[in-house]
Amino acid sequence: MTSRFDSKPGIDSISLEITELFREADPDGERLGRVFREAFDMAYDGQNTGRYSIGQLTKTESAHMGSLVEILIRREFDDILTDGEVMDFDAAGHDLDCKYSKHRFGWMIPMEALGNHAMLCHADDQSATFHVGFAMIRDEILTAGGNRDRKRTISAKGRQAISWLFTEHPFPPNTLLQLEPELRDKVLEPESGAARLDMLFRVAQKQRIPRGIVATVAMQKDYMKRVRSNGGSRTKLRPEGIVILSQYERHRNIARKLNLPVPDKGDTVSVRLYPAENGYTGPTIFEEGKHWRIAESDDPPVMAPEITHK
């Protein structure tokens, strides 16, 4: 759920100004959501390693997440950010330090950040939610102690000084993490990348599957080719009634008509279809001369319609 707060004691006007700057640039959080999804996927490097969770990374690799988030935010928001003179970014003429923590409220604030503003980021890949807020870093909002590098965290009381842009806001999910363990094992068991992808689209139906997850499961350079028709998963799963929707506008419209998650850039959504009976009143699509509905578990497999891009 998105939370947006009005001015309250402790929140300075510049933090509010920067919050509004980002709110106008990313009102629904989709751009920041893509940043966090891409940062996790880059850290896992699943295409080459098969990894899909923070727990599989070394301590050094996990610590690198902050640098990835900073780089990707700067690249994604080059319409409102430039390089800062002292801190990481310049936002509307104000220096802005980018801080990421894998723990909520776990940001480690260095001494040189005092007197500057910070963009405070946290994302949890297990729940697929993120937080982003802004605050002016000053002594009174920090804890009294510090680590050996004299870095401190924001105190419980000091959190009142954060101007939140988003809290508990969803971003594209890590499909492998969200699968039941036995289903995840079923996906990862086959030796062939193509067979693993086929299994992924069988067991993870009716949910968005980001491009990075496809790369992790396939572990091949041409992983998206393995999804397409002409011998890919679309071809092989049609006899089972399964279609694979992607970012094409026609596919997105089909997803809307069937009340499915709408695939965004790089996403795929698989679903098994079955011919709709006369008098069926639920959501349907019209393809190849007949109406189709989402299949029930006891519906026998039938050849699915070929869903074209146009």
For 196-252, write each residue's pLDDT tens digit.
999 999 999 999 999 999 999 999 877 777 787 777 899 999 999 999 999 999 999
Query: Would you say residue 52 has pLDDT above 80?
Result: yes
Is the same domain home to 133 and 218?
Answer: no
pLDDT band (50, 70, 90) for residue 146? low
Mean pLDDT of 7-34: 90
Is the same domain home to 165 and 24?
Answer: yes
Name the DSSP class of 223. Answer: G
Residue 308 within any structural domain of the chain: no
Single pTM value for the model: 0.87
Is the same domain home to 45 and 129?
Answer: yes
Model confidence over 169-206: pLDDT tens digits? 999 999 999 999 999 999 999 999 999 999 999 999 99
**Structure tokens belonging to residue 193:** 């990348």
Is the same domain home to 18 and 152?
Answer: yes
Query: Would you say residue 2 has pLDDT above 50?
Result: no
Query: Would you say residue 3 has pLDDT above 50?
Result: no
Is the same domain home to 158 and 21?
Answer: yes
Is the same domain home to 259 and 131?
Answer: no
* Percent of the chain predicted with pLDDT > 70: 96
Per-residue CA distances from 179 to 25, 56, 139 (Å): 33, 17, 44
Mean pLDDT of 128-153: 89
Residue 89 within any structural domain of the chain: yes
Conformational region of residue 9, where left means phi above 0, alpha means psi within -120 to 50, and beta covers everything else: beta
Within 13 Å, how many C-alpha atoms sit on residue 195's CB side? 6
Q: Which residues, 6 or more positions from 89, have their beta carbon under 8 angstroms from its beta carbon? A: 73, 74, 81, 82, 83, 95, 96, 97, 98, 119
Cα(191)–Cα(189) distance, rounded to whole angstroms?
6
Mean pLDDT of 132-156: 88
The three-class DSSP label of residue 100 is strand
* Domain limits for position 183: 175-294
- Report pLDDT for 109: 93
pLDDT band (50, 70, 90) for residue 161? very high
Is the same domain home to 124 and 188?
Answer: no
Query: Would you say residue 4 has pLDDT above 60?
Result: no
pLDDT band (50, 70, 90) for residue 148? low
Q: Which residues pair with 209 in a beta bridge?
A: 268
For the chain, how many structural domains are there in total? 2
- Report pLDDT for 179: 95
Is the same domain home to 198 and 93?
Answer: no
Is the same domain home to 97 and 229?
Answer: no
Task: Report the length, in residues, of the chain.
Answer: 310
pLDDT band (50, 70, 90) for residue 147? low
- Report pLDDT for 266: 86
Model confidence over 100-133: pLDDT tens digits? 999 999 999 998 899 999 999 999 999 999 999 9
- Report pLDDT for 25: 98
- The mean pLDDT value of the chain amounts to 92
Name the DSSP class of 291. Answer: E
Residue 5 within any structural domain of the chain: no
Residue 85 is which amino acid? E
Residue 203 within any structural domain of the chain: yes
